[in-house]
Structure 1
Amino acid sequence: MNRQSQAAVLFLLGAALLHAGTTDLYLRYVKAGLRPLLLASGAILIVTALATAWYEHRRTKAKREQEQRKAGAAPHPEHAHPEHAHPEHAHPGPAHPEHSHPEPRVSWLLILPLLALILVAPPALGSYSATRTGTALQEPLAYPSLPATDPLPLSVVDYAGRAVYDHGRTLTGREVRLTGFVALDHEGTPYLVRMALNCCAADAQPVKVGLTGDIPPVLQPDTWLTITGTYTSRTTHDPVNNGPIPFIKVTTATPTPTPRDPYDESWNN
């Protein structure tokens, strides 16, 4: 892979990052707060690619001009020194053949992740990851006052933290609304889940809320639901890491489209 090819790959990668950063595609990979860094990285890669192509063009042009000057300065065979005119009288010198070192073809495999980024947008992590990873619920640093909205919209992380570590004191007597996707454990217990991010999808971990009460008779994993319900003191432990999982008593459950940002970032904000 020569420098022109490397510049082309850099340019395509930078363009892919800019495309992801200017659309909602980047939310499949990183948290929303990293968007400016993603856009800056794409711009830097494009500038680097253009600079590399320009430098290689100038280097090739200078080399060609140098070869042309050498060819024009060479003496004509008729005016050459006799010992150079007759090869049998010439003094042979050491040969210095130019050796070509082609780059290994396997280097072109580096373009495969780029093609995957451009052509295939992976879905957000769902129930498969959630049922194989223990809940990542952490105790909140504080419990901000809640608005008087009825029903009260909360994130899955916020509800779970208040239900477990504040024992539902700020939730008792309130009707709350949560949105997440469905996951079923090996016993068929339904959970409403949201994957929480530290930085990017690679470190996403689930926060789970068990469902009880008026649950739909048929629940399909990865179905997104908006549920309305009330706090219940019932809890269980995650079979994967023994972490706490609170429950919510469901009064209504409505299918909902996958949200623009499928991940929950409120657990570390």
Structure 2
Amino acid sequence: MNKQAQAVVMLLFGGAIVRASLTDMYLRYVKESLRPFLIAAGLVLIAAAVMTLVHEVLRPKERAEEHDHGHDHGDGKPHREPWVAWLLILPVLGLLLVAPPALGSYAAGQSGTALSSQQISDYPPLPPGDPAKISVLDYASRAVFDKGVSLGDRTVRLTGFIASGPNGEPILARIILSCCAADGRPIKLGMSGNAPAGLANDSWVEVIGRYTDRTITDPVNEETIPYIEVETWTQIDPPKQQYE
């Protein structure tokens, strides 16, 4: 692969990053706050690719002959770059042509719940309104580490996707990110009461319910999975931001 081909690959890669960053596609890979950095990185790649192409086009013809006849390594024989280098274009094409879904029920089933028994229990009052709209992580943390004290008898509204629980029953889950999808970890909630039924894994639902002290152990990492007593639920479209 000569320098011109390398520049084209870099141009495509930079363009793919900018394209993903200007749409909601980037939210499947990284946190929303990283968008400006993705755009900047894509623009830098595009600028570097354009500068390389301009340099290659303008340089003297005799220096460009090595791209047509191969490189001489001192043995009098021309040598070309290995064809395997062209495999570098595959991830670029994947990013341009394929849009893999955000992490979902499969990832949740392969990883233990992200709640750790070492966290500190110190929670502010729930937001005003009834039901109070909070995250799955917030509810799970309050249920496990605060024993539901800060939840009291309030009703809460949670949004997540359906996954298979330890006993095969449906659970409510949400993936949390520290940086990007590579470090995604699931938060899992069991559901009792009027729990959703008949939905496929990765179906998104909004549930309204109350705290219950029921728990179960996650067989993946033996951490605690709390429950929520579901009063009502509604199937919804996947949200724009699928990670917490």
Q: Report the TM-score, using the length of structure 2 for normalisation.
A: 0.90
Which position in structure 1 is the counterpart of 2:70? none
SS state of the match for residue 240, structure 2?
Answer: coil
Which position in structure 2 is the counterpart of 1:258? 238
Which position in structure 2 is the counterpart of 1:15? 15
Q: Does residue 215 in structure 1 map to residue 195 in structure 2?
A: yes
Which position in structure 1 is the counterpart of 2:101? 123
What are the superposed Cα offsets for residues 21-41 of structure 1, whole Å, 9 maximum, x if unpaired?
A: 111100111111111111111
Which residues in structure 2 correspond to 1:234-249 (within 5 Å)?
234-249=214-229
C-alpha separation in 2, matches of 1:178 and 1:190: 15
Which position in structure 2 is the counterpart of 1:267? none
Q: Does residue 165 in structure 1 map to residue 178 in structure 2?
A: no
Which position in structure 2 is the counterpart of 1:92? none
C-alpha separation in 2, matches of 1:242 and 1:52: 53
* Overall identity of the aligned pairs, in %: 51
Which position in structure 2 is the counterpart of 1:133? 111
C-alpha separation in 2, matches of 1:101 and 1:219: 59
Which position in structure 1 is the counterpart of 2:4? 4
List gaps (5 residues or longer) in structure 2: 65-73
C-alpha separation in 2, matches of 1:106 and 1:35: 32
C-alpha separation in 1, matches of 2:62 and 2:123: 68
SS state of the match for residue 146, structure 1?
Answer: coil
**Deviation at 1:125?**
1.2
RMSD, matched Cα: 1.8
**Deviation at 1:145?**
2.9
Larger Rg: 1
C-alpha separation in 2, matches of 1:231 and 1:146: 13
Moved over 3 A (4+): 60-64, 96-99
How many residue pairs get matched?
233
Q: Partner letter of residue 78 of structure 2?
A: S
Q: Is the 8 A contact 2:114 2:186 kept in 1?
A: yes
Which position in structure 2 is the counterpart of 1:106? 84
Q: Partner letter of residue 263 of structure 1?
A: Y
C-alpha separation in 2, matches of 1:233 and 1:97: 77
C-alpha separation in 2, matches of 1:17 and 1:140: 38
Q: Does residue 230 in structure 1 map to residue 210 in structure 2?
A: yes
Which position in structure 2 is the counterpart of 1:156? 136
